[in-house]
Structure 1
Amino acid sequence: MKILQHLRQKRPLVHCITNYVTVNDVANALLSVGASPVMADDESEVDEITAISNALLINIGTLNSRTISSMIKSAKKANELKIPIVFDPVGVGASTLRNETAFRLLEQVNFTLIRANASEISFLANKTGGARGVDASKNELEKDILEHINAAKILAKKYNCVVAVSGKTDIIIDEKQTKLCNNGSTMMANITGSGCMLGAVMAAFFRRK
C-alpha cells in the first residue's frame, strides 16, 4: 500500500506506444493507479515526449511499419536518459513481422522489464511455442510451470532484465531470484487488453524517480 501511495504522490508520466485496440483501457488503468498516461507514436515527437516521461511502454499488439521506427527511436532516447522501459511482445511467434520486430527491439534496446504470456516468453527464449493470435496457446498453458520458469530465466540472463510471465500463476524473475504470485484468474482471458493494461501499470511502478 505504501508503494501505491508513493506512486500517487509522484504521479509519474508513462509514455505508451501501444496497442490501439486497447489504448483507452491502458490510459484508464494508468489513471486508476495514480499515474498519468501519454500516447504518442509519431516519429517526429517521440524523442520529446519520451524525454519528459518517467517510464516507457512498448507494446507491439497492433504492429505496423509506421510505428516500428517510433518504437526504436523512443526506446533509444529512454536508454540514453536512463528511463525504465517495459516491453510487451504481444503475439510474437504468430507472424514474421512480429518476430523480426521483437528481436530487433531486443537487440537494439536495453529493456527494464519484459512482460508477456507463456507462449510469447517461450518463443523469445527458445523460438518454440505457437501463439494463438495474441493469446497463449493451449499447449503452452498445459506445460509444467518449471518450463515457463526456465524460459524466463533464459531471457532474464540474456537481456539483463526482469521478466514477468502472466498466467494462472504469475512468474517474476531476474538473474538472482524467482517469485511466484497466485493472483491469476481465468476471467482475464475473456477481457480484451488485460495484458496491455498490466504492462502499462508495471511501467508506472518501474518509473524513473
Structure 2
Amino acid sequence: MTARLLLARHGETPSNLKHALDSRPPGPPLTDMGQRQANALADRLAEDQVVAVYASVAVRAQQTAEPVAKRHGLSVDVVEGLHELQVGDLEGRSDEAALRSFGEVYTRWTQGDLAAAMPGGESGEEIRGRYLATIERIRANHPSGLIVVVSHGGIIRLGAEWLADNVGAQLANAKLLPNTGHVLLEPRPTGWHCLEWTGVDL
C-alpha cells in the first residue's frame, strides 16, 4: 500500500467563533466543540491504516491530533513548518478591512504571485518554502500507510494547490475547510493527486 497524505484542519477555537485572524503560535486551545470535533475525526479515521500523526506547533493542532494518535497507539509528532501563514499586522483582527486585506493577499498567492506578503507578515515564497520542505521530510519517513498532518485551513489550501496536480487557484480560493475538514492526497509519478476535499471526491 502506497503512502497517502491526509491534511486536516484543527477543531474549533474561540478565535474561529469571533472570525478573528489568528496565526501566531502557540495560539488558543480548542473549545468544547473543538474537542468533540477532534474526537469525531479520530472516529472517522479509526479503520484507516494510520502510520503517523503530525501537528503544527499551535496548541489547537496538537489537541486535534491527539485523539487520532491515541486511537492508533501513536504519539503526536510536533514539527515546525506546518504552522498557519503568519498574518503580521492583521493578527487578532476581525474587522472588514483586515479580512479584505487578508483575502486580497491570499488570492494573489493562489494566482502565483508569491512575492506578495501579508502586512508585516509572511510572503507566499516564505510559506511555500517552509511548508513544502516539511511535507517532503514527512513523506520521506513513511513509504506506506496513511500519514495524518493536522494544521490550519489557510496553509492547507495553499499546500494542496502547490502539491496536487488537480487543485488550482479557483478551488484553493473557493473551497474553505471547516474545522477538522481535510484534503486527502495520494502520490503519482509526477507528484501528488487530490482524492478528496472534505469528503467530496475530486
TM-score normalized with structure 2 length: 0.34
Report 1 or 2 for greater relative contact order, CA contacts < 8 Å, sequence distance ≥ 6.
2
More helix by share: 1
